[in-house]
Amino acid sequence: MADEDTSGGEQRFTGIAAAPGVVIGKVWVQGRNDVVVSPREIPAEQTDAEVLRLEEALIAARRQLTEIQQKVSQDMGDGNAAVFDAHLLVLDDPSLIEEAVRRIRHERHSAEYAFDTVASQFVKSLAELRDEYLRERAADIRDVAQRVLRCLTERDAEEMKAIGEPCIVLAYDLAPADTACIDKTKVIGFCTDIGSKTSHTAIMARALGIPAVVGLHDASQRVLQGDSVLLDGYGGLLILNPSEQTLDAYGQLEKRRHGIEASFARLRDEPAVTTDGHRIALEANIEMPDDVPDVLANGADGVGLFRTEYLFINRDDLPSEEEQYEAYAEVAQKLAPRPVVIRTMDLGGDKFLSSLQVASEMNPFLGWRAIRFCLERTDVFRTQLRAIARASVAGNVKMMYPMISGVEELRRANAELAAAQAELAAAGIAFDGNMPVGAMIEVPSAAMTADLLAKECRFFSVGTNDLIQYSLAVDRVNERIAHLYQPTHPAIFRLLLQVVEAAHRQGIPVAVCGEMAGDAALVPLLIGLGVDELSASPPLLLSTKRLIRGLSRAAAVEMVARARELTEASEIQALSYALAQAAAPEVMELAGA
């Protein structure tokens, strides 16, 4: 939607903020670049050759995607490269390929027309379904189909090769592969007509550190090549022909943001202590050993979540025990004596294991993942447990299991750990026999039996992302129901309170490592509930520390007492927000809250 400023020709397009930052420059409008295929019949004697053309195009498309995936893995980490696993799976879909081959052989269609027709039918069928997960697969098929057709027609995608100077790219849509190939020296920001904050394109933008806005409706049809624009990745705006007044306002705003961030940096070595003397452990979520410098630069008390699955995905083989040990030991040694909480692999859901042939599932978030996978593939699990146990000699290592649903799973996991430690002992390899072992609380059944689990582990870590998703039956990446994903829903409030009370009765601490821990507006609520530790992305830690140092724990506890009587998520959210605003208004300003 566009609103025109008649005073100076300025025009504003409102979309969805996808990646933070503000940039000003010339716009480069990219077309959709779809390959259009016309029907073409082939002689019967050429069908074998046409099938071979299709096979070669599929191989070429796979090679291109693999190269892009490797580049993304090197530049942005394995987690971001994992989005291409779904595209590679399309190229192996037997129903798609076999039907295209049938049309070539029996209906004598050209390879282009056969493949395009079949892929279009698949896309149409999936796009009409109400299931968001399956509709996303339609987008994957469409992107891959265009790549295969470009290989067949020997047409290179324009992508952004024609860009000669730094500019802001505007397109109807950008496939993940297009985004991954962006040259940051030439593209200073990008925006699209369609998309959501949780689309692959938006995720890539945040990983690249490039400001981005999506969901601009028809902006690519209304903005011309070379127009001057301002892209606001905080507010979700594309401003065409920004006025001097607008430019001045944004300049002042950017200067203030930098000033606020600089004031936070002075708190790096200060403790996260409330105004009434209550200490909160403030830790970092990391994915790889390379993240350690960010942990130290942002004054973390340690690592509250080491996501080990990123050592496993996007590779052709499983990491060896030695490779894993070196990664875990490196983090532990560099951060000692700060604690490092290593989570055993949480594979499945949106994280794929390329080195094992794991069948795709209709609903992978409720399927064979995390501890469920580990307890069936004990060979893989045992190797990881030995590596973690070996790294524990540093003396600061803790370990936790993901997606525990009850005591039985916890006991089975601990039995595997004991067996792994026994193997090390038999081989004369040292380990810390007193390494603290905890459970993640992500499943409603775990929250409801927290009193039982607390008797058999040393700490809890609450994964609020999944706990909210599972408890409220809300897919958090589905834009149509995103408004129902409510961290302050009374049910979530009660579950968190129940978990904290059960843990404290047994004398064990509770951490929160989900997105709630990094949401400034919700930090007072978590502290009032009695959460002992917060673990978030390193860049969020200094602002969170500033908030904690301006907050009274007594006021937070009183706020939670009032929240017990409330019946709506918005009411609880408003209480926590008000306390955060009073404690650290500049933090809330920076967060855009």
Contact 181, 147 (CB under 8 A): no
Contact 394, 329 (CB under 8 A): yes
**Which residue, 373, 369, 379, 391, is CA-closest to 324?**
391
Task: Return d(Cα 51, Cα 98) in angstroms, integer.
Answer: 10
Task: Return d(Cα 408, Cα 412) in angstroms, integer.
Answer: 6
Kindly list the distances between the CA atom of residue 464 and the CA atoms of 194, 355, 471, 556, 582, in Å, as whole numbers in the listed order.
Answer: 29, 29, 10, 19, 25
Q: What share of the chain is helix, strand, coil (3-state, %, to 5)?
A: 55, 15, 30
**Is there a catalytic annotation at residue 513?**
yes
Contact 538, 256 (CB under 8 A): no
Task: Return d(Cα 123, Cα 126) in angstroms, integer.
Answer: 5
**Which residue, 466, 339, 331, 324, is CA-closest to 400?**
339
**Is there a catalytic annotation at residue 109?**
no
Q: At what angle do helices 244-265 and 541-549 cross, to 10 degrees?
A: 70
Give the number of other Cβ atoms within 10 Å of residue 262's Cβ.
9
Contact 525, 563 (CB under 8 A): yes
Structure tokens at 426: 């038999």
Task: Return d(Cα 265, Cα 285) in angstroms, integer.
Answer: 19
- Our CA angle for 425, 430, 433, nearest 5°, is 75
Task: Return d(Cα 502, Cα 496) in angstroms, integer.
Answer: 10
Which of the residues 87, 109, 200, 489 is marked catalytic?
200
Contact 403, 442 (CB under 8 A): yes
**Which residue, 240, 256, 340, is CA-closest to 9?**
240
Contact 245, 259 (CB under 8 A): no
Helix (H, G, I), strand (E, B) or coil at 284: strand
Kindly list the distances between the CA atom of residue 135 and the CA atoms of 33, 132, 318, in Å, as whole numbers in the listed order.
Answer: 22, 5, 31
* Residues annotated catalytic, as ranges: 200, 513
